[in-house]
Amino acid sequence: MKQEALNISNQGEKGLSATKPSKYSEYKRRRKIMLKSQGFITAIILLLAIWSIWGTGFNLLSLFFGTYEILVFIFTDMFPPDLTVIGQLIGPALDTLYMSYVGMVISVVVSLVLGVLAADNLTPHWTIARVSRAVTAFLRSVPAVVWAIILVSGIGLGPLTGTIAIGLSGIGILGKAYAEVLESIDGAQLEGVRATGANWFQVIGQAVWPQFKAGFVSWSLYKLDMNIREAAILGLVGAGGLGYYLQGSINLFQYKEAATAILMIFALILMVEYMTAKIRERII
């Protein structure tokens, strides 16, 4: 009905009937292409899902009973948390903090070297840059837990292991970040200082550091934030700190103690995040 009214109101009757079918077929053509590419993506996702369900023996129902079981577990076995163990937890919590911090310092020191070597504008030679980048890429792609597991069997249980593992994986992240910050430094300023006949150290101090400082501080603090989370779970494989305590209490079916340990991890994460945010504000 509306259709008629529209046609009447349009003067170019002939032109209209000539263009309209082709316009509609254009619409259909485009829609088909889009449906095809959407269908292709959906099909891939579906296939991946089916393949994964088949491979892992995952039962979709476990989504429901899993949710149910975890709720039951959390609310009957873990709740209320046993707060009397807080005293025993302060030691491991501090260990976690120390591990994160020392691990950060280790990765900062090593990453500074690797970063300078990897940055295109500061590297002594491009092959060195390549090698340095490969090392950081490798360290970045291997999770800290992997290092921790290997080190636990080599050096033994305890926080030293965790510290080294955190330090190693941190190099992967900070090495890359520092190199990128360094590469974004204004070259003209660098040249200016070089032109005054300054040596390498003077160039770094006068031209590089002022521009590098902000990126350096915020990336390092970000890494400290990350380290707390990592340190907390490294303990699960025996590398000391809160995670170790958590693993122990779960092995002994002391779930209410485990709940307290989790809350403690929580509190530690929040506290460190708050502090790093404050420090970042002050320095930058």
Partner 1 sequence: MIKNKETYRQQKKVQNSIFTFLAFAFFIFSMLQLNIVPERIVRSIERLGYIFGNMFPPVTNEPVSLFTAAIESIQVAILGTILGVIISLFLAVLAAKNLTISPYLGYAIKGFAGFVRAVPALIWALLFIVAVGLGPTPGILALAINSIGMLVKVYGEALEEIDMGIVEALESAGASKVQVILQGVFPSVMKAFTAWSLFRLDVNIRYSAILGVVGAGGIGWELMKAAQMSRYDEALMVTIVIFGMVMSAEVLSEYMKKRANAASAQALN
Partner 2 sequence: MMETILEIRQLKKTYPDGTEALKNINLSIKRGEFIVIIGPSGAGKSTFLRSINRLSEPTSGEIIFHGEDIVKANRAKLRKMRRNIGMIFQGFNLVKRLPTVRNVLHGKLGYMSTWKGALGLFNQEEVEEALSILERVGLEDQAFKRADELSGGQQQRVAIARAINQSPSIILADEPIASLDPNSSRVVMDYLQKACQEEGFTTIVNLHQVDFAKEYADRIVGIKNGEIYFDGPVKELSDDVIQSIYAKGKEAMPV
Residues within window 23-42 making contact with partner 2, judged by CB under 8 A: 23-24, 26-27, 30
Residue 155 partner contact from partner 1, partner 2, none using kind-dependent CB cut-offs of 5 to 8 Å = partner 1
63 binds partner 1 (CB under 8 A): yes
Answer for which of 166, 177, 233, 264 binds partner 1 (CB under 8 A) is 233
CA-angle at 161, arms to 158 and 167, nearest 5° = 140
Answer for which of 85, 89, 102, 165 binds partner 1 (CB under 8 A) is 102
Answer for which of 45, 83, 214, 284 binds partner 1 (CB under 8 A) is 45
CB-based contacts of 18, cutoff 8 Å, min separation 6:
none
130 binds partner 2 (CB under 8 A): no
Answer for which of 3, 56, 196, 199 binds partner 2 (CB under 8 A) is 3
CB-based contacts of 244, cutoff 8 Å, min separation 6:
92, 157, 235, 236, 238
3-state helix, strand, coil in the chain (%, to 5): 85, 0, 15
Residue 24 partner contact from partner 1, partner 2, none using kind-dependent CB cut-offs of 5 to 8 Å = partner 2
152 binds partner 1 (CB under 8 A): yes
Task: Using the rule CB under 8 A, give the single segment among 15-23, 110-118, 128-136, 158-166 that binds partner 1.
Answer: 158-166
**CB nearer to partner 1: pick between 150 and 193:** 150
Q: Which of residues 199-218 bind partner 1 (CB under 8 A)?
A: none
Answer for which of 81, 89, 95, 260 binds partner 1 (CB under 8 A) is 95
Describe the crossing of helices 209-234 and 86-118 by its angle, rounded to 10 degrees.
140
Task: Using the rule CB under 8 A, give the single segment among 16-24, 112-120, 123-131, 239-247 that binds partner 1.
Answer: 239-247
20 binds partner 2 (CB under 8 A): yes
Measured between its terminal Cα atoms, the distance across the chain in Å is 68
- Phi then psi for residue 157, to 5 deg, are -65, 160
The number of residues in the chain equals 284
Answer for which of 131, 142, 157, 198 binds partner 1 (CB under 8 A) is 142
DSSP sequence for 90-117:
HHHHHHHHHHHHHHHHHHHHHHHHHHHH
Spatial contact of 181 and 213, defined as CB atoms under 8 Å apart? no
Task: Report, in Å, the least distance between residue 90 CB and partner 1.
Answer: 12
Answer for which of 24, 75, 79, 138 binds partner 1 (CB under 8 A) is 138
Spatial contact of 234 and 166, defined as CB atoms under 8 Å apart? yes
Residues within the interface to partner 2 (CB under 8 A): 2-3, 5-7, 9-10, 16, 19-20, 23-24, 26-27, 30
